[in-house]
């Protein structure tokens, strides 16, 4: 019976039951039916409220009302005056708006971006019979659900009151007049067998509450007015030839209030932006800012891929933060996680009672490393969902780039799995062709629609062509983190200097493959957690030697081809491992050692941005030359960088032992005067300020290091020195 279906929230096609329906064949006109639990009486009025059209008959005590209009020759719009026990309200019946509920669904499938412009909770305004009606159009994809209702404060979280209509393609839709921004809502779904599922947050929701409700919130994406047009225009350049120095940070633990609370988006705009400008970074990179239920995941277990987390404020507040970054010349990169998602009951897991977003086979659909689900990269609806979730950040939130986390885990079926725990591809191999195809499409969509932005892969294997165009068979990323360089060089630096000569190649090996990809040299958050020690305490020796080693290493990093990334805290030599539950050790900056490290990073960034030789030929073999990579006995490395025109060389020499070297001869390309432009051993950085034999040197005609000319200087201990030709 109908009343049983209504009371059990089991009505799948309410448009065929509610609203105006044609009278049975042989009868003229229409009849009107509505379901208003708890109502005593219902009057029908014209949509402008000026004319009473009749009083409905209550045909069921539970709230089912009907009224016949035998003389009506066409459908018309209307509203209800509803009398309850202690109140009277006016209601515009959502079930008269069939076409409005379906609006946009046909175009959604034509372009990924249409998904976030159509699905979820969209604020709309319609006009009928001269009356403008504002409301929210809800649309959620749940093809295997037997019933779906939208629930919220507006209907007492009662799944009986607003059943949604199922489309032929599996979306459930309903336009609810009278709702606006700020309304809390979720979806109540029943699985294919009619079993009620845990209430689900909106997969395409733009804003959400925190624990315990995890409710989605209707949000107006059009309200915020941006002021970053000049920045966006300035970014239409070749990123490969741009100076990019990235400050990676975790929003909640960069700095906190005295009571331990995190700073808000707007407070971070006030605090972080001046600091990043002072330090000279070109970009910040945020660990995932997308909504996630567990803070201890650092954001890498997201459930709201379309919404900035409400931990730090509203979505408009996040837009303000990005806008302020741009107005101050700072780019914003976000970590984006399509590799896996958590099993929280309000999220995507078994969304409609079936594996809608995840692979069904746990050998493909469950991540042993993170105890989380894996997206079904071969399903078209999932692919649309993921690419849309990437594009929304470039579109609505104006971010400048996306770093894709855990790409290696997507590329290989046997990633972190033993024999028998994975299923080969159709060719019997371990490559996930579906994930490869998705990543290529993602990159094509980003660069087609937002060519001023960049994509970055965290990919830890030797998979070929990660940062090569898709038309050549590559994955299409703009950049790739150089995990090999990071691992090798840190392992080298951890060695006592007396043993480094046996590991000399660990510092040079990266140049063998340096031009295989567009690399970013990354010292990320993963290197300072889980017992790996801080960057300072990875270094051997006493207090001074630890700091000197770190300074020399940072100098070597800025000399090496590739864009730069450092995690927060390294810039002032934090002593503790990163702890996501507390702020950085800002108190260390009262000590000269940490002030010195901070000053060094400022000066390295300033030099890096001012010397094109250090960045605009990063991916051109002509931009780099070893002067001496074989002096393993002394652990000395000498190299030369040139700009894209093969000019303006910068000579760099690193000494990774505490031993000084008097009268060290260094090859240079031409005659003239050469000047030290940065020395990590300077007293300004808490170095020994060892006498180099001057700050300017005249080149002689003595050939050295494969060059026709050379200069002679004293090499300081545990230091990297940058030298530039300044004239004849």
Q: Where are the beta strands (DSSP E) in 70-112?
A: 78-83, 88-91
Is the pLDDT at 564 greater than 90, yes or no?
A: yes
Give the pLDDT confidence of 307-329 residue by residue, as tens digits.
Answer: 999 999 999 999 999 999 999 99
CA 648, 654, 660 angle in degrees (round to 5)?
125
Number of residues that make up the chain? 728
> Which 3 state secondary structure label does DSSP give 223?
coil
10 lies in a domain? Answer: no
User: Rounded to whole angstroms, how far apart are CA atoms 309 and 290?
Assistant: 5
Look up 171 and say whether it is catalytic: no
CA atoms within 13 A on the CB side of 389: 29
| 288/347 same-domain check | yes
User: Rounded to whole angstroms, how far apart are CA atoms 77 and 420?
Assistant: 62
Q: Where are the beta strands (DSSP E) in 129-169?
A: 131-141, 147-152, 165-166
Look up 681 and say whether it is catalytic: no
241 lies in a domain? Answer: yes
CATH number of 687's domain: 2.60.40.1180
Is the pLDDT at 576 greater than 70, yes or no?
A: yes
| 436/291 same-domain check | yes
Is the pLDDT at 446 greater than 80, yes or no?
A: yes
2 lies in a domain? Answer: no
| 264/381 same-domain check | yes
pLDDT for the residue 101: 87
| 32/177 same-domain check | no
**Among the three residues 609, 626, 661, which one is the final residue of a domain in this structure?**
609
| 207/345 same-domain check | no
**Among the three residues 546, 574, 609, which one is the final residue of a domain in this structure?**
609
- Asked whether 410 and 466 are in contact (CB, 8 A), the reply is no
User: Rounded to whole angstroms, how far apart are CA atoms 89 and 75?
Assistant: 24
| 198/273 same-domain check | no
CATH number of 67's domain: 2.60.40.10
35 lies in a domain? Answer: yes
| 561/695 same-domain check | no
- Asked whether 264 and 298 are in contact (CB, 8 A), the reply is no
Per the residue annotation, which of 376, 405, 603, 643 is the catalytic one? Answer: 405
618 lies in a domain? Answer: yes
11 lies in a domain? Answer: no
Return phi, psi of residue 463, to 5°: -55, 130
706 lies in a domain? Answer: yes
Which of the 8 DSSP states describes residue 345? T
Average pLDDT of the segment spanning 165-176: 95
User: Rounded to whole angstroms, how far apart are CA atoms 512 and 624?
Assistant: 12
Which of the 8 DSSP states describes residue 704? B
Which tokens is 576 given? 């503790």
The rounded mean pLDDT for the chain is 96
| 363/497 same-domain check | yes
Q: Using 50, 70 and 90 to split pLDDT, how confident is the model at 518?
A: very high
Give the pLDDT confidence of 186-220 residue by residue, as tens digits.
Answer: 999 999 999 999 999 999 999 999 999 999 999 99
In DSSP terms, which residues pair with 403 in a beta bridge?
A: 335, 456
Whether the upstream peptide bond of residue 626 has omega within 30° of 0, thus cis, is no
User: Rounded to whole angstroms, how far apart are CA atoms 348 and 301?
Assistant: 11
- Asked whether 47 and 129 are in contact (CB, 8 A), the reply is yes
Question: 472, exposed or middle or buried, with CB in 10 Å at 0-12, 13-18, 19+?
Answer: exposed
| 554/593 same-domain check | yes
> Which 3 state secondary structure label does DSSP give 593?
helix
Which tokens is 692 given? 């180099």
- Asked whether 21 and 49 are in contact (CB, 8 A), the reply is no
- Asked whether 382 and 112 are in contact (CB, 8 A), the reply is no
Give the pLDDT confidence of 231-281 residue by residue, as tens digits.
Answer: 999 999 999 999 999 999 999 999 999 999 999 999 999 999 999 999 999
**Residue ranges making up the domain that contains 669:** 614-727
5 lies in a domain? Answer: no
User: Rounded to whole angstroms, how far apart are CA atoms 91 and 246?
Assistant: 53
User: Rounded to whole angstroms, how far apart are CA atoms 140 and 352?
Assistant: 10
* Count of other CB atoms within 10 angstroms of residue 487: 14
Which of the 8 DSSP states describes residue 708? S
| 106/176 same-domain check | yes
Pairing of strands 366-367, 454-457: unpaired
The two most distant CA atoms of the chain are separated, in Å, by 109
- Asked whether 541 and 658 are in contact (CB, 8 A), the reply is yes
Which of the 8 DSSP states describes residue 674? E
Question: 50, exposed or middle or buried, with CB in 10 Å at 0-12, 13-18, 19+?
Answer: exposed
| 595/618 same-domain check | no
Helix 265-279 × helix 315-327 angle, to 10°: 20
CATH number of 251's domain: 3.20.20.80
Average pLDDT of the segment spanning 3-21: 90
In DSSP terms, which residues pair with 79 in a beta bridge?
A: 45
pLDDT for the residue 281: 98
Per the residue annotation, which of 202, 458, 488, 571 is the catalytic one? Answer: 458
The structure's pTM equals 0.96
User: Rounded to whole angstroms, how far apart are CA atoms 644 and 238?
Assistant: 13
Q: Using 50, 70 and 90 to split pLDDT, how confident is the model at 108?
A: low
Is the pLDDT at 429 greater than 90, yes or no?
A: yes
Which tokens is 711 given? 């200069």
In this structure, is the dihedral angle defined by the CA atoms of residues 494, 498, 502 and 508, taken in order, positive or negative?
positive
**Among the three residues 609, 644, 671, which one is the final residue of a domain in this structure?**
609
| 360/480 same-domain check | yes
Number of folded domains in the chain?
Answer: 4
């Amino acid at each position: 019976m109908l009343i049983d279906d209504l009371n059990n929230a089991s009505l799948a096609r309410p448009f065929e039951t509610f609203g105006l329906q044609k009278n049975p064949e042989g009868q003229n006109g229409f009849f009107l039916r509505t379901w208003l639990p708890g109502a005593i009486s219902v009057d029908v009025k014209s949509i402008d409220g000026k004319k009473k059209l009749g009083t409905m008959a209550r045909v069921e005590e539970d709230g089912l009302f009907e009224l016949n209009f035998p003389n009506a020759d066409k459908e018309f719009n209307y509203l209800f005056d509803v009398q309850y026990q202690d109140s009277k309200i006016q209601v515009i019946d959502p079930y008269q708006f069939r076409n409005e509920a379906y609006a946009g669904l046909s175009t959604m499938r034509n372009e990924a971006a249409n998904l976030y412009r159509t699905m979820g909770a969209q604020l709309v305004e319609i006009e009928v019979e001269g009356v403008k009606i504002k409301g929210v159009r809800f649309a959620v994809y749940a093809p295997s659900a037997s019933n779906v209702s939208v629930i919220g404060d507006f209907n007492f979280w009662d799944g009986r009151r607003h059943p949604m209509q199922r489309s032929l393609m599996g979306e459930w839709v309903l336009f609810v007049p009278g709702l606006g921004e700020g309304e809390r809502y979720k979806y109540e779904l029943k699985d294919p067998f009619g079993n009620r599922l845990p209430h689900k947050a909106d997969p395409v929701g733009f804003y959400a509450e925190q624990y315990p409700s995890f409710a989605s919130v209707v949000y107006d994406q059009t309200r915020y007015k941006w002021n970053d047009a000049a920045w966006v225009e300035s970014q239409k350049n070749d990123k490969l030839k741009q100076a990019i120095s990235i400050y990676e940070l975790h929003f909640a633990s960069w700095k906190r209030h005295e009571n331990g609370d995190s700073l808000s988006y707007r407070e971070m705009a006030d605090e972080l932006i001046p600091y990043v400008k002072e330090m000279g970074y070109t970009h910040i990179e945020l660990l995932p800012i997308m909504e996630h239920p567990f803070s201890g995941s650092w954001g890498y277990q997201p459930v709201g891929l379309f919404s900035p987390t409400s931990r730090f404020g509203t979505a408009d507040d996040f837009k303000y933060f990005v806008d302020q970054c741009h107005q101050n010349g700072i780019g914003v990169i976000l970590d984006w996680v399509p590799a896996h998602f958590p099993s929280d009951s309000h999220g995507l897991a078994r969304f409609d009672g079936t594996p809608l977003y995840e692979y069904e086979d746990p050998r493909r659909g469950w991540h042993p490393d993170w105890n989380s689900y894996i997206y079904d990269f071969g399903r078209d609806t999932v692919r649309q969902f993921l690419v849309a979730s990437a594009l929304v950040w470039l579109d609505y939130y104006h971010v400048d780039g996306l770093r894709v986390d855990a790409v290696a885990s997507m590329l290989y079926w046997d990633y972190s799995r033993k024999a028998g725990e994975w299923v080969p591809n159709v060719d019997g191999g371990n490559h996930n062709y579906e994930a490869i195809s998705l990543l290529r499409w993602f990159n094509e969509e980003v660069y087609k629609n937002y060519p001023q932005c960049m994509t970055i892969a965290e990919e830890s294997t030797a998979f070929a062509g990660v940062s090569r165009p898709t038309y050549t068979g590559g994955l299409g990323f703009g950049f790739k983190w150089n995990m090999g360089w990071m691992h090798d060089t840190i392992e080298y630096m951890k060695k006592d200097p007396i043993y480094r000569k046996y590991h000399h190649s660990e510092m040079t090996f990266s140049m063998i493959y340096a031009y295989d990809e567009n690399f970013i040299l990354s010292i990320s958050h993963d290197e300072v957690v889980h017992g790996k020690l801080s960057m300072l305490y990875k270094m051997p020796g006493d207090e001074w030697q630890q700091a000197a080693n770190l300074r020399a290493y940072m100098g070597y990093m800025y000399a090496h081809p590739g864009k730069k990334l450092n995690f927060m805290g390294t810039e002032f030599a934090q002593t503790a491992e990163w702890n996501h539950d507390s702020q950085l050790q800002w108190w260390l900056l009262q000590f000269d050692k940490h002030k010195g490290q901070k000053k060094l990073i400022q000066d390295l960034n300033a030099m890096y941005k001012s010397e094109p030789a250090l960045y605009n030929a990063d991916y051109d073999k002509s931009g780099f030359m070893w002067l001496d990579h074989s002096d393993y006995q002394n652990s000395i490395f000498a190299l030369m960088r040139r700009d894209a025109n093969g000019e303006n060389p910068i000579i760099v020499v690193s000494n990774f032992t505490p031993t000084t070297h008097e009268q060290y001869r260094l090859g240079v390309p031409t005659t003239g005067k050469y000047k030290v432009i940065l020395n990590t051993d300077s007293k300004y950085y808490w170095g020994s300020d060892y006498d180099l034999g001057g700050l300017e040197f005249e080149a002689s005609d003595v050939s050295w290091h494969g060059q026709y000319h050379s200069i002679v200087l004293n090499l300081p201990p545990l230091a990297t020195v940058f030298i530039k030709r300044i004239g004849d």
